[in-house]
């Protein structure tokens, strides 16, 4: 009897539960109002949506073709959504009706269209948005599925349109919104395939054969080398919770996204809506895909964003910075506590191979300076820092270095042969190892001339003949 009664109650209870659930599922929110979508340029993200109902959102996006900076001294004809690479960040709410206007600037040479992975329909919108130069097209879609989606151009040859910069992100916020955080940023990785090699100066053409082989010269965050470093770094305060919307435009490579010195507390794998993994070091971001990562910054400093396919980070440009300001927390991170000398047998000065091809011959001091700036950026800045300021205790400064300016000829030997053992620069003692950098006489002359006349230094010129003399006297 008792069993039967319990069973009866359970039955009643589950019937009520099922009825309630199906009622919620059937409730479709009604669309009301209309607004203009606010689009932002990376690394900025539009503000979170506060509406509690879907609306009609009008999005206007313009495609352009323009020459912009890919790296220092290197230019590229980018094809863009909104004038920048990556394209503008679009943010709508689940259930919104999006009226999409794609306008192709009259100066474009190519037609373009848009495939938004957030669209359910042929070509993700591409079938309805083929837009010739000087024309505009309109189509509408309902943002049925929440998530972080890539959009890209899908005009033939598709690979070339994507390789030239035509991609961006659209976030469809779930109805219930995303948990609030202190800072949100937009980071998108992609590759460039250029006629010349990494660092080769001038306007670089697209190289189809490298694209087919999937061997890019550049792998970058937010469209260019250095777009997120130094003064362009993204920032936060100690204690902030940070959410990064990470996309990968490809066209070919998968990104192993990692932040040096941080652990992702939460990852929405592949840009879906379930925060399905905690405590992640590196997350995969597929080509044409995304990920949302969240973490709290506990200590101040510079945290480096990389594709952990590490040559891409340190040799092809896939490196960004997050600068965190605030008070130290020595319990979480002590900083250096002790340094001792460790000299195993067989250790010695090593050599690193420079990755710049022989530069064209510089005639004037001005040409030497320009060529030298590129050699510096590619071979010296990683240690001595972009403005030659060095890093106290590790890499001596070249800016105002009394050691260097006392004897510039000695510096030729330093570059060619490397340097180790104790030296004093501007009163501070250094005892590090600088590997010899394998550069042509021309490049050594150029980089030294550049250093001797930059960063506040203002003296001297070194010629290839000077370098040859030092090499032969060795």
Q: Which residues bind ligand HEC (CB under 6 A)?
A: 379-380, 382-384, 395-398, 401, 403-404, 411, 414-415, 419-421, 423, 425, 430-435, 437, 447, 451
How far apart are CB 412 and ligand HEC at their closest, in Å? 9
How far apart are CB 155 and Cu ion at their closest, in Å? 4
Nearest CB to ligand HEC, comparing residues 284 and 423: 423
How far apart are CB 416 and ligand HEC at their closest, in Å? 9
Q: Which does 437 bind (CB under 5 to 8 A by kind): ligand HEC, Cu ion, none?
A: ligand HEC
How far apart are CB 465 and ligand HEC at their closest, in Å? 18
Burial class (CB in 10 A: 0-12, 13-18, 19+), 391: exposed
Q: Among residue numbers 95 through 124, which ones bind Cu ion (CB under 5 A)?
A: 112
What track of x and - describes contact with Cu ion for positions 153 through 192 (by CB under 5 A)? x-x-----x----x--------------------------
Distance CA 42, CA 353 (A): 34
Dump strand ranges (E) for 218-333. Answer: 218-221, 234-237, 241-250, 255-260, 264-268, 277-280, 282-285, 289-296, 301-307, 319-325
Nearest CB to Cu ion, comparing residues 157 and 357: 157
Pairing between β-strand 423-425 and β-strand 428-430 as defined by DSSP bridges:
antiparallel
How far apart are CB 262 and ligand HEC at their closest, in Å? 24
Q: Which does 297 bind (CB under 5 to 8 A by kind): ligand HEC, Cu ion, none?
A: none
Q: Which does 224 bind (CB under 5 to 8 A by kind): ligand HEC, Cu ion, none?
A: none
How far apart are CB 436 and ligand HEC at their closest, in Å? 9
Q: Decide if 228 contacts 187 (C-beta within 8 A).
A: yes
Nearest CB to Cu ion, comparing residues 166 and 448: 166
How far apart are CB 318 and Cu ion at their closest, in Å? 23
Burial class (CB in 10 A: 0-12, 13-18, 19+), 11: exposed
Residue 400 CB: number of other CB atoms within 10 A? 14
**What's the sign of the alpha-carbon dihedral 36, 37, 43, 49?**
positive
Q: Which does 396 bind (CB under 5 to 8 A by kind): ligand HEC, Cu ion, none?
A: ligand HEC
Please work out the total of residues on this chain that contact Cu ion, with binding judged by CB under 5 A. Answer: 5
Nearest CB to Cu ion, comparing residues 66 and 200: 66
Write the CB contacts of 98 (distance below 8 Å, at least 6 apart in sequence): 37, 56, 57, 59, 92, 140, 141, 142, 143
How far apart are CB 440 and ligand HEC at their closest, in Å? 12
How far apart are CB 203 and ligand HEC at their closest, in Å? 26
Q: Which does 58 bind (CB under 5 to 8 A by kind): Cu ion, ligand HEC, none?
A: none
Helix (H, G, I), strand (E, B) or coil at 13: helix
What is the DSSP code (8-state) at residue 354?
A: -
* Residue 129 touching Cu ion (CB under 5 A): no
Nearest CB to ligand HEC, comparing residues 292 and 451: 451
Q: Decide if 391 contacts 443 (C-beta within 8 A).
A: no
Nearest CB to Cu ion, comparing residues 161 and 374: 161
Nearest CB to ligand HEC, comparing residues 27 and 458: 458
Nearest CB to Cu ion, comparing residues 161 and 384: 161
Q: Decide if 457 contacts 451 (C-beta within 8 A).
A: yes
Distance CA 54, CA 2 (A): 49
Of 94, 89, 114, which is closest to residue 37 (Cα–Cα)? Answer: 89
End-to-end CA distance of the chain: 104
Q: Decide if 454 contacts 374 (C-beta within 8 A).
A: no
List of residues contacting Cu ion (CB under 5 A) = 112, 153, 155, 161, 166
């Amino acid at each position: 009897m008792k069993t039967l009664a319990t069973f009866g109650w359970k039955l009643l209870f589950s019937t009520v539960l099922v009825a309630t659930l199906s009622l919620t599922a059937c409730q479709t929110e009604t669309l009301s109002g209309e607004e203009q979508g606010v689009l932002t340029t990376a690394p900025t993200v539009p503000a979170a949506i506060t509406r509690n109902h879907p609306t009609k959102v009008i999005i206007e996006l313009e495609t352009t073709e323009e020459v912009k900076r890919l790296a220092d001294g290197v230019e590229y004809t980018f094809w863009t959504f909104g004038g920048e690479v990556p394209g503008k960040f679009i943010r709508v709410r689940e259930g919104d009706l999006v009226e999409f206007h794609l306008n192709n600037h009259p100066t474009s040479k190519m037609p373009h269209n848009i495939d938004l992975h957030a669209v359910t329909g042929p070509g993700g919108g591409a079938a309805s948005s083929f837009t010739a130069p000087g024309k505009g097209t309109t189509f509408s879609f309902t943002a049925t599925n929440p998530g972080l989606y890539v959009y890209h151009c899908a005009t033939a040859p598709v690979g070339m349109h994507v390789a030239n910069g035509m991609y961006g992100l659209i976030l469809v916020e779930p109805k219930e919104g995303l948990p609030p955080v202190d800072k949100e940023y937009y980071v998108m990785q992609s590759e460039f395939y250029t006629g010349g090699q990494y660092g080769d100066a001038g306007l670089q053409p697209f190289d189809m054969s490298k694209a087919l082989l999937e061997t890019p010269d550049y792998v970058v965050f937010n469209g260019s080398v250095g777009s997120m470093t130094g003064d362009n770094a993204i920032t936060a305060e100690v204690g902030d919770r940070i959410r990064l919307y990470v996309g990968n435009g490809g066209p070919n490579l998968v990104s192993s996204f990692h932040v040096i010195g941080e652990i992702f507390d939460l990852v929405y794998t592949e840009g879906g809506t379930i925060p399905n993994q905690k405590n992640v070091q590196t997350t995969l971001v597929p080509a044409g895909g995304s990920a949302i990562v969240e973490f709290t910054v506990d200590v101040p400093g510079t945290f480096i964003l990389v594709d952990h396919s590490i040559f891409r980070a340190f040799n092809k440009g896939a490196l960004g910075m997050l600068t965190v300001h605030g008070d130290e927390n020595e319990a979480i991170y002590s900083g250096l506590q002790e340094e001792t000398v460790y000299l195993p047998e067989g250790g010695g000065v090593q050599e690193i191979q420079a990755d710049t091809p022989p530069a064209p011959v510089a005639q004037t001091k001005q040409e030497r300076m320009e060529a030298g700036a590129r050699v510096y950026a590619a071979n010296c800045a990683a240690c001595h820092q972009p403005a030659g300021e060095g890093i106290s205790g590790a890499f001596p400064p070249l800016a105002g270095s009394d050691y260097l300016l006392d004897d510039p000829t000695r510096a030729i030997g330093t570059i060619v042969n490397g340097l180790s053992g104790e030296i004093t620069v501007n009163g501070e003692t250094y005892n590090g190892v600088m590997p010899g950098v394998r550069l042509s006489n021309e490049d050594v002359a150029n980089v030294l001339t550049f250093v001797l006349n930059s960063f506040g230094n203002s003296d001297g010129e070194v010629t290839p003949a000077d370098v040859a003399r030092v090499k032969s006297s060795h």
